[in-house]
Amino acid sequence: MELMNAAVVYLPLKLRPDTVHALRAAFDAAFAASAPVVVLLGASDDTFCTGLAVDEGGPVETEPFAGILAALADAPKPTLAYVDGKAIGGGFGMACACDWVVATDRATFGLPELLWGIIPAMIWPAVSGRLGPNVARRWTVSAHTRSAEEALDAGALDELVSPERGPAVLRKAVMRLSRLEPQATRQLRRWNRDSQLGPLADVLTRGAALTKAMASTDVVQARVAAFNRGETPWT
């Protein structure tokens, strides 16, 4: 799928050592590209990504995938996941790590890790950040696949569309995200995590200092000046 203003990263069907290393290279290239938005697309017509492959007797290299999740959490530009198929385990986690998630009504989502005797430890910050810890725990313990409608109700999705309308909605979402100031979007992710730490009075003090510092940057001042001249600096 070709998208204006977007660097597209195609996910592998499963996260194996070779595919994870290739995926990290694809993310690094997308983050370095001139396109203002990074879009994650599925491995095939019916699969977004089915997560970490645990093969009998085979190596399980978890650190490279943890690095991908960390890179998504600190991406230098807005990220968007378009889920049109199965998003399981680590695939679901990558979608949850994105700034915006669009899914079609044939998408499905699941956290089956407990069935294999492990827990979704690496993706937990992203998944619980989207669903909340109680719902994330419930989805993990029940371990069954959820529909796109259930995912929308739980907060895992931002938009739910039919497969026919998916490409048009995706293009509009890319256009909206391309208007955002990228470093502010990055800072929002950081603050979303940091604001959960410490007493409320301390959080408010840190929030006030952060807002003051960001408002004085050249980027913000230039956008404000352009807006005051009647321009729209985000187009």
In this prediction, residue 60 carries a pLDDT of 67
pLDDT at 175: 94
pLDDT tens by residue, 56-91: 566 567 889 999 999 999 999 999 999 999 999 999
Of the candidates 144, 135, 83, the residue with the CA atom closest to the CA atom of residue 111 = 144
The CATH H-level superfamily of 6-178 is 2-enoyl-CoA Hydratase; Chain A, domain 1 (3.90.226.10)
pLDDT at residue 58, as a whole number: 60
202 vs 157, more confident: 157
Domain ranges of the chain: 6-178, 182-228
Q: What is the rounded CA–CA span in Å between residue 196 and residue 119?
A: 23
pLDDT of residue 38 exceeding 90, the answer is: yes
Structure confidence at residue 80 (pLDDT): 98
- Where does the pLDDT of residue 2 fall: very low under 50, low under 70, confident under 90, or very high at 90 and above? confident
